[in-house]
Structure 1
Amino acid sequence: MAGSDTSQLCRDADAFIFDIDGTLLNTHDLVHYRALNLAMREAYGVDTTIDGVPYHGMTDLSILRASVALAGVTGLEFEAKLPEALGVVRREVEQNSATLDPKVCDGIPETLEKLQRKGKLLGVASGNLETVGWHKVAAAGLRSFFSFGFFSDHSERRADIFRNAVREVKQRCGSEARVCFVGDTPADIEAARESGANIVSVCSGTYKREELMAFAPDLCLKSCMELQEWL
């Protein structure tokens, strides 16, 4: 996409919806990691970790499903015990939220402040469970910027989470409202495309520019520090 077109795309968007991990912040603690591992042990009786799964860009539900499958848990057993597993994750993150240690990604506060001044609707769409996601955002000092959020509690597919977020924007701003997602993984690009929205990719997570560009986002930036130039 040409630079002028991309700039217009960003300026014309009525709402910006941000992924959390790798986009808004990166965590320097093991709270979420340990909660997922403990959930598998308590709910499914398997002493394993999520390390065998390429979890960047995956939802909490899909991470749990893939991890316990590697330990021999069937799909039926996974579904039957999923409410218990999710309860463990929520409990553990809630109890240990004071030890969350997120590092806000470059340019995020400045970008959110600029978008807020311009009257843009701001939300989050994350593969985290809702309790997990909001605790991370709050620990990073960013909660006040966001009017709404959609998470993986009832949506295993990221595209469904994004679609729900787009629906929320259109309910608030009208059926012609334009939505731009900001994310750091190929999964964010694919989910945005499936939901009919635009996507700005940032290299503030684990993926490099060339890896993200292979999925053809509308714009690919080093970080949200650069996004301010397009607003």
Structure 2
Amino acid sequence: MAGSDTSQLCRDADAFIFDIDGTLLNTRDLVHYRALNLAMREAYGVDTTIDGVPYHGMTDLSILRASVALADVTGLEFEAKLPEALGVVRREVEQNCAKLDPKVCDGIPETLEKLQQKGKLLGVASGNLETVGWHKVAAAGLRSFFSFGFFSDHSERRADIFRNAVREVKQRCGSEARICFVGDTPADIEAARESGANIVSVCSGTYKREELMAFAPDLCLKSCMELQEWL
């Protein structure tokens, strides 16, 4: 997209919806990691970890599904014991939330403040479970910026989470509302496209610019520090 068109896309958006991990913040603790691993031990009886799964951009449900599959847990058993597993993840993060130590990504506070001042509706759409996601955002000192959030508790596919967020924006702002997602993975780009929204990619997670550009986002920036120039 041409520079002037992209600038207009950002300035005209009624709502900005942010991914959490790699976009708003990067995790420096093991709280979520340990919660997922413990969930697999308690619910499925398998002594395994999520290390064998390329989990960046995946939802918590899909991470658990892929991880226990590597330990020969069947799909039927996965579904049957999933509520118990998710309960363990929520419980462990809730009990250990004081240990969360997120590093806020470059430019995030300034960008959120600027968007808020401009009257933009702000939300989050994350592959985390809701309890996990909001605790991370709160630990980063960012909770007050966001009016709503959608998570993976009932949506294993990221595109479904994004669609729910789009539906929420249109209910609040009208059916013609213009929506821009901000994310750091190819999965965010694909989900935004599937939900019919625009997407700004940021290289503040694990993916490099050339990897993200291969999926043709509307805009690809080093970090949200640069996004302020487009608002």
- Shorter-chain TM-score category? over 0.9
Secondary structure of 1:161's counterpart equals helix
Aligned residue for 1:222?
222
Per-residue deviation, 1:178: 0.5
Using the alignment, how far apart are the partners of 1:230 and 1:207 within structure 2? Answer: 22
Q: Offset of 1:214 from its aligned partner?
A: 0.1
Deviations 1:56-85 (A, max 9, x none): 000000000000000000000000000000
TM-score using structure 2 length:
1.00
Match status 1:188 vs 2:188 = yes
CA distance in 2, matches of 1:42, 1:123: 33
Give secondary structure in 1 for the equivalent of 2:176: coil
What's the offset of the Cα at 1:222? 0.1
Structure 1, unaligned runs of 5 or more: none
Task: Give, in angstroms, the shift of residue 203 of structure 1.
Answer: 0.1
Identity %: 97
- Cα distance in 2 for partners of 1:107, 1:183 equals 14
CA shift, 1:4, in A, is 0.1
CA distance in 1, matches of 2:62, 2:71: 14
Shift of 1:3: 0.2
Name the SS of the counterpart of 1:156 in structure 2.
coil
Deviation at 1:139, TM superposition (A): 0.1
- Work out the CA distance in 1 between the residues paired with 2:86 and 2:110: 34
1:71-220 aligned at under 5 Å gives the runs 71-220=71-220
Q: CA deviation at 1:100?
A: 0.1
CA offsets per residue over residues 129-148 of structure 1, 9 Å max, x none? Answer: 00000000000000000000
SS in 2 for 1:91: helix
Partner SS for 1:72: coil
Query: How far apart, CA to CA, are the structure 1 residues paired with 2:167 and 2:88?
Result: 30
Cα distance between partner residues in 2 of 1:53 and 1:28:
19
CA RMSD of aligned residues (A): 0.1
Instruction: Give distance in 1, aligned partners of 2:87 and 2:22.
Output: 25
Q: Distance in 2 between matches of 1:177 and 1:201?
A: 20
Question: How far apart, CA to CA, are the structure 1 residues paired with 2:30 and 2:124?
Answer: 22
Say whether 1:29 aligns with 2:29: yes
**In structure 2, C-alpha distance between the alignment counterparts of 1:21 and 1:27, rounded to whole Å:** 7
Shift of 1:120: 0.1
For residues 152 and 34 of structure 2, the distance between their equivalents in structure 1, rounded to whole angstroms, comes to 18
Q: After TM superposition, give the deviation of residue 226 of structure 1 in Å.
A: 0.1
SS at match of 2:166: helix
Q: Which runs of 5+ in 2 are unaligned?
A: none
Q: After TM superposition, give the deviation of residue 156 of structure 1 in Å.
A: 0.1
Deviation at 1:13, TM superposition (A): 0.3
| TM-score, normalised by the number of residues in structure 1 | 1.00
Q: Distance in 2 between matches of 1:221 and 1:12?
A: 18
Q: Give the CA deviation at 1:28.
A: 0.3
SS of match in other structure, 1:201: strand
In the TM superposition, residue 216 of structure 1 has moved relative to its aligned partner by: 0.1
SS at match of 1:124: strand
| C-alpha displacement of 1:189 | 0.1
Q: Report the secondary structure of 2:171's partner residue.
A: helix
Secondary structure of the 2:122 match is: strand
The alpha-carbon deviation at position 53 of structure 1 amounts to: 0.2
